[in-house]
């Protein structure tokens, strides 16, 4: 029996210890408190020559402040409008923090990463007021169809870190990437990009990362796990007119395991969740996708190992095994055009142990919808899955249904955008924070913007 929404809303706010028990191994986040870091040293960039005039390059001041506080302390970008024309790489720090209370606006034109933080441990990047932001002015690139500009923020080889309570806006390319990191916590973020592909919200290929209470507006990835990744927990995610969440794109030697997406709300997006590949090799295993709510999305559950947007790669296909989908509700845009369950597995590596339970979605347009599967197996045949242990491919089979499932109705968020007015031709304003990121679930940590 499907749970009532009253019951789900109560269960949507589990204790912190429960949240961290899913996939995560040990503690995540910065090791030293902000109070201790501030007591060690404070390095305000305006004491190093930075000027809040919106035009003077702060790169030298930011680098100098970091040099003085990189072994313990807090680098402060105070309230005000600051320009960054030369990208900064902050490498090798420990027990330090970057307090972003002002707005850093892109003033340079190079590719790469506006702020690149690497090879460090015990780091925290945050806004104490919730008003801090990085403004990429990506539309200046996108006017000519160019998405080869810089990322706003990139971490590489970082351990025991926290990122929270600021906005990332209008990236020329991706907004935030975490590459080969460990034991990080990312939360209370608002990301708003242009209505175009190639402008990902959060991309992570790392180990032991907790991403929660994040809202993304763009037209590409919302929060995406890439290879290699292990022990990733993603929850309380608000894809508010976005591309939707995903795992992939997957290629050769894929290695992804122990991933949980939980409490994901998706509005007017490309999909609620997608696993995408074409050829390749390796494995994706032990993935849980639970408590998903969707409204007016093109695709809902979309596992596509013949994804037409990528060129075929060498290999028989990535092996998907142990994929559990549970408690999905809401309404897709048009279930006859794009059914709510599409599982197209590689014939050379059929999916095994695919489990779908408590799945109740219905079409907003029309009076029917379909479920389609190819080379996908479960212990018990359900929807379009075949029963068995896999090993043998089979062609796509489609089941069309004409009766709405019981319990498909689901709540909506008050902040759902009525239109995506942030195209690629004008500056995108810095958004405000929603009160919550999933119906009935308050943020695990209080929003700085609400303090």
Backbone Cα Rg of the chain: 22
Cα separation, 179 vs 187, in Å, equals 17
Tokens for 107, please give them.
Answer: 């003033």
Collapsing DSSP to helix, strand or coil, 117 comes out as strand
Cα separation, 432 vs 166, in Å, equals 10
Q: Is 295 a catalytic residue?
A: yes
Choose the catalytic residue: 220, 258, 302, 304.
Answer: 220
Answer for the pair 22, 324: CB distance below 8 angstroms, yes or no.
no
Choose the catalytic residue: 195, 295, 302, 304.
Answer: 295
Answer for the pair 115, 435: CB distance below 8 angstroms, yes or no.
no
Cα separation, 137 vs 148, in Å, equals 13
Q: Is 415 left (phi over 0), alpha (psi -120 to 50) or beta?
A: alpha
Answer for the pair 114, 151: CB distance below 8 angstroms, yes or no.
yes
Cα-based angle 50, 54, 59 (whole degrees, multiple of 5): 40
- What does the DSSP assignment read for 378-432? ESS--TTPEES---S----EEEEE-SPPTT------TT--SS----SSSPPPPPP
String of b and e for 51-76 (b: at least 16 CB within 10 Å)? bbeeeebbbebbbbbbeebbebbbbb
Cα separation, 240 vs 258, in Å, equals 26
Q: Is 220 a catalytic residue?
A: yes
Residues serving a catalytic function are 220, 295
């Amino acid at each position: 029996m499907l749970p009532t929404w009253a019951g789900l809303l109560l269960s949507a706010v589990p204790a912190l210890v429960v949240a961290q028990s899913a996939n995560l191994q040990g503690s995540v986040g910065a090791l030293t408190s902000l109070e201790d870091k501030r007591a060690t040293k404070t390095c305000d960039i305006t004491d190093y020559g930075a000027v809040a005039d919106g035009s003077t390059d702060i790169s030298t001041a930011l680098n100098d402040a970091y040099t003085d506080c990189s072994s313990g302390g807090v680098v402060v970008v105070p309230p005000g409008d600051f320009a960054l024309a030369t990208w900064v790489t902050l490498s090798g720090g420990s027990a330090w923090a970057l307090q972003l209370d002002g707005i850093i606006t892109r003033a340079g034109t190079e590719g790469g990463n506006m702020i690149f933080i690497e090879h460090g441990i015990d780091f925290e990047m945050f806004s104490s007021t919730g008003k801090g932001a990085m403004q990429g002015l990506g539309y200046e690139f996108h006017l000519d169809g160019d998405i080869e500009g810089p990322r706003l923020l990139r971490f590489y080889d970082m351990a025991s870190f926290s990122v929270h309570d600021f906005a990332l806006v209008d990236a020329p390319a991706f907004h935030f990437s975490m590459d080969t990191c460990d034991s990080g916590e990312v939360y209370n973020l608002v990301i708003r990009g242009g209505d175009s592909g190639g402008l990902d919200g959060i991309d992570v290929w790392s180990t032991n990362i907790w991403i929660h209470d994040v809202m993304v507006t763009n037209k590409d990835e919302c929060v995406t796990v890439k290879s290699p990744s292990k022990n990733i927990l993603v929850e309380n995610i608000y894809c508010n007119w976005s591309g939707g969440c995903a795992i992939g794109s997957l290629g050769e030697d894929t290695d992804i395991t122990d991933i949980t997406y939980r409490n994901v709300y998706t509005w007017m997006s490309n999909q609620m969740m997608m696993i995408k590949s074409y050829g390749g090799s390796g494995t994706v295993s032990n993935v849980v996708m639970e408590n998903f709510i969707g409204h007016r999305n093109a695709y809902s559950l979309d596992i596509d190992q013949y994804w037409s947007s990528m060129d075929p790669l060498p290999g028989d296909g990535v092996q998907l095994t142990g994929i559990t989908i549970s408690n999905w509700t809401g309404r897709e845009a048009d279930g006859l055009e794009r059914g709510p369950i599409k599982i197209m597995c590689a014939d050379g590596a059929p999916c095994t142990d695919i489990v779908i339970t408590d799945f109740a979605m219905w079409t907003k347009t029309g009076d029917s919808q379909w479920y389609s599967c190819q080379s996908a197996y479960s212990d018990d045949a359900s929807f379009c899955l075949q029963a068995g242990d896999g090993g043998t491919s089979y062609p796509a089979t489609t089941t069309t249904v004409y009766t709405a499932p019981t319990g498909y109705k689901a709540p909506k968020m008050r902040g759902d955008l009525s239109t995506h007015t942030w195209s690629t031709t004008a500056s995108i304003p810095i958004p405000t924070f929603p009160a919550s990121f999933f119906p009935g679930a308050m943020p695990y940590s209080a929003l700085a913007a609400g303090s």
